[in-house]
Structure 1
Amino acid sequence: MKFLKMMMAALLLSAAGTGFAATPNTSPVERGLPLVTVHKSPYCGCCEKWIEHMQAAGFEVEVVNTEDMTPVKQRVGIPPGKGSCHTAEVGGYFVEGHVPADDVKRMLAEKPAARGIAVPGMPIGSPGMESPDGRVQAYEVQLIDKDGLSSTYSTHAASE
């Protein structure tokens, strides 16, 4: 009965325009996060885990399953040797591979003059590549500039 009364009170407050229920239920767009479009193989499980990581960080994600990622990577400008299993597009940038959501948010806030950011390969312990034993391999997120040159954007340490 107490639960029912609380639900009714919340409904009434929300209907009255107080915004009581607005904060937890706001969409990612209302929180200022752009849509993330992820191009991936329909068979890749680690890509699905990375998508879940991005959604948990507040991003709305659209998935485009494709059998051939090469045209996508060429179109967005992934340099040779910087590829991974999935390619995302967000806010005019690419996000290649298992980049942590916090690095994506940082890039969107800083708006660097770049094509995007990448985690080449598939480092163990990066988002979507979690290890059952909790092991994390050291890796870096690379910023890819307009000329295709890379520099270190952030580093992520190995587990001890």
Structure 2
Amino acid sequence: MNRMFRLAAVLATLAVPLPALADPIAATLYKNPQCSCCEGYAAYLRENGFTVDVKPSNDLAQISADAGVPADMEGCHTMFVDGYVVDGHVPVGVIRKLLAERPQIAGITLPGMPMGSPGMGGEKAKPFTIYAVTKDGAAPKVYAVE
């Protein structure tokens, strides 16, 4: 009987859907109104446990600059999540790393629109280098390579 009870407990635990075990991560994503890859990125985030509020904007450069992202390090869109800026098509694993480690930075950026990155088409040609940015004007430093 004890074995049956343990088996029932294990099966009950497995029956709980994974999203119920973790709260979704809320994010606000600013994008160019005509950009479709940003919508693809938002869908990718939603598939990976985020709730994403997408806001079209024609002021992306200013939003990124105000968040501490230098002009030459801007990505395709700018997102805010749990007090950090995430600029560009940053893979979800790197965002989770940022949120777990909670470094003293403004956020992270994957400059440009690299092929094969989340939300972009094509094949990944080389590892993605994600940079840490600050609001004090310090030079960005490599945060992760994926």
- TM-score, normalization by structure 2: 0.81
Shift of 1:43: 1.1
- Report matched runs for 1:104-143 at 5 Å: 104-131=95-122, 134-143=123-132
CA RMSD of aligned residues (A): 2.1
**1:49 to 2:40 alignment:** yes
Which secondary structure state, in structure 1, belongs to the residue aligned with residue 55 of structure 2?
strand
- Report matched runs for 1:4-23 at 5 Å: 23=17
Q: Which residue of 2 aligns with 1:154?
A: 144
The question of whether the paired residues in 1 share the 8 Å contact of 2:37 and 2:119 is answered with: yes
Distance 1:110 1:19, change over 3 A: same
Q: Deviations over 1:11-36 (max 9, x none)?
A: xxxxxxx899763453xxx7244311
Which residues of structure 2 form unaligned runs of 5+?
Answer: 1-11
**1:85 to 2:79 alignment:** no
- Matched residue pairs, number? 134
Shift of 1:97: 0.3
- For residues 15 and 56 of structure 2, the distance between their equivalents in structure 1, rounded to whole angstroms, comes to 35
Whose helix proportion is higher, 1 or 2? 2
- For residues 115 and 41 of structure 2, the distance between their equivalents in structure 1, rounded to whole angstroms, comes to 13
Shift of 1:147: 2.6
Aligned equivalent of 1:102, options 85, 88, 93: 93
Which residues of structure 1 form unaligned runs of 5+?
Answer: 1-17
- TM-score, normalization by structure 1: 0.74
The question of whether the paired residues in 1 share the 8 Å contact of 2:65 and 2:71 is answered with: no
- For residues 107 and 144 of structure 1, the distance between their equivalents in structure 2, rounded to whole angstroms, comes to 12
The question of whether the paired residues in 2 share the 8 Å contact of 1:113 and 1:146 is answered with: no
**1:73 to 2:64 alignment:** yes
Q: Which residue of 1 aligns with 2:31?
A: 40
Q: Percent identity between the aligned chains?
A: 34
The question of whether the paired residues in 2 share the 8 Å contact of 1:46 and 1:128 is answered with: yes
